[in-house]
Amino acid sequence: MVRTLNQSGTRIVTDEKILVTGFHNGKRYHRMRKPMFWEQFGNFYRVYVRVGDKVFRGTTYDNNGVIEFDIMKSYRLR
């Protein structure tokens, strides 16, 4: 199910989970997470994911049918 968060349709929410990998607080992180929302940025989408009390923004890539998000290659917002 896909829902939009604003009138222009640039922010959407889905029920699908993505694989979040990387290192957070000195520990390895490798879990399936539901993203907060996806934001359209030109011809692709950026994803916003909450890990603990931090929010990360970045792009995803496809790894044999599994959508992966690397927090080491993303921007930390909070």
In one letter, which amino acid is 7?
Q
Measured between alpha carbons, how far is 74 from 60 in angstroms, rounded to an integer? 10
Which CATH architecture describes the domain 2-76?
A: Roll (2.30)
**Predicted confidence pLDDT, tens digits, the chain (78 residues):** 778 777 777 888 888 999 999 998 888 999 999 999 999 888 888 999 999 889 999 999 998 989 999 999 999 997
Element (H, E) at 11: strand 11-14
Domain coordinates of the chain in residue numbers? 2-76
Enter the tokens of residue 71.
């927090």
Q: What is the pLDDT of residue 78?
A: 79
Measured between alpha carbons, how far is 46 from 38 in angstroms, rounded to an integer? 6
Q: What is the pTM of this model?
A: 0.85
